[in-house]
Amino acid sequence: MRTATTVELSTRPGEVVEFAVEAEKLGLDMCWVAEAWGTDAPSALGYIAARTSRMLLGSGVLQVGTRSPVAVAQTAITLSNLSSGRFLLGLGASGPQVIEGLHGVSFAHPLARVAETVEIVRQVFEGGKISYSGKEFQIPRPGGEAKPMRLSTQPEHAIPIYLATLSPAMLRLTGKIADGWLGTSFVPEGAGDAYFAHLDEGLAAAGRVRADIDICQGAEVAFASDEDELHTMVAARKTELAFSLGGMGSASTNFYNQAYSRQGWADVAELVRERWQSGDRDGAAALITDEMVLTTTLIGTEEMVRARLATWRDAGVDTVRLYPAGDTLDAKLATLGRAIDLVRQT
């Protein structure tokens, strides 16, 4: 398996950049830069590209709908050319809270919007005049005076496109059109029905196989010295998981909650959502079981983490995205280096 991490520069940006630089020295294969509702990803990617020389850099992710498809392609070409071909274009639909609540753009028809964006981006990459007529996008805009144009710049290297998806329909689309899948909320023991069945359906529809797509999964990694420390670590992460199940997305649309529900925790996920939405955050966290934390993270003793990495590998993960625990930069780097070594041994 290859190794990756994800960073976001909303707080202590200098330290985050230094983390990325030092991570490359540790042998990390790729670094994804998140956007969410904080700093934009392209600015950070350009700066990190100037500070690094080897590892791949990806947008993890650009939110489809907040930029026009051609603007997405322009950004991808610029970052790829500046980094000597090290850029990976990660795209995602996000959710109604961010897309509508923050950006003021309709979240309607996310599947069509993602599919058409990828089609337009690839058309731009080809270098010809851009002409597209879809349900979500029309280029040039009809009824005006404009004629099709081409960009004055072209990609000097291939630019792989990754999709961050969770729902069955989006997973099928990922299998059909993407070069990589950025997943989360991943339980390898339940991934067959929850994720891979849909992904493989899309791959088959396009005449492709699993080897044609990079399966990139992420989880927090932390090492416990004994059972007592492990118990403390697990307990500390229950509020974070409760937020994912109850507070991410809108009151009625939470793709993380749905992903956990498909992997065997439907009843708990619904109760957590209800309590979180009612304001009972402690009560929501109390419903999270140790198993829910341990099976979706890489937290444990070194032997436990080693065993979980082997399970991830056997489940079909190609790239493991590591979120290292630690209160300081040095602590995070130490955790990351230890995890990279374990991945290499797996």
Mean predicted confidence (pLDDT) in 310-314: 96
pLDDT in tens, 35-93: 988 899 999 999 999 999 999 999 999 999 999 999 999 999 999 999 999 999 999 99
- Determine the average pLDDT of the residues in 201-214: 98
Per-residue model confidence as pLDDT tens digits over 315-329: 999 999 999 999 999
Contact (Cβ atoms closer than 8 angstroms) between residue 74 and residue 105: no
Largest CA distance in the chain: 70
Q: What is the reported pLDDT for 6?
A: 97
Q: Report the pLDDT value the prediction gives residue 251, as an integer from 0 to 100.
A: 62
According to DSSP, residue 103 is labeled T
Question: According to CATH, what is the number of the domain 2-221+299-345?
Answer: 3.20.20.30
DSSP labels, 264-319: IIHHHHHHHHHHHHTT-HHHHHHH--HHHHHHHSEEESHHHHHHHHHHHHHHT-SE
- What confidence tens digit (pLDDT) does each residue in 163-199 have? 999 899 999 999 999 999 999 888 898 889 889 999 9
Note every long-range contact of 41-46, with CB atoms under 8 Å and residues 24 or more positions apart, other chains counting.
Answer: 42/75, 42/78, 42/79, 44/7, 44/9, 44/13, 44/17, 45/79, 45/83, 45/87, 46/78, 46/79, 46/82
Residue 309 in tokens: 């990495």
Short-list 73, 172, 168, 173, CA closest to 113: 173
Two structure tokens written together for 104: 């003021």
Tens digit of pLDDT for each residue in 208-220?
A: 999 999 999 999 9
Asked whether the CA dihedral 63, 67, 72, 78 is positive or negative, the reply is negative
Tell me the angle at which helices 197-205 and 168-177 cross, rounded to the nearest 10 degrees: 40
Residue closest to 58 by CA, chosen among 163, 207, 196: 163
Q: Specify the DSSP element, H or E, that contains 332.
A: helix 329-345
* pLDDT at 252 > cutoff 70: no
Do 319 and 29 form a contact (C-beta atoms < 8 A)? yes
* Phi (first) and psi of residue 192, to 5 degrees: -60, -55
| Angle 268-271-277 from CA coordinates, rounded to 5° | 135
Cα separation, 87 vs 19, whole angstroms: 18
pLDDT score for 260:
80
Domain borders along the chain are 2-221+299-345, 225-298
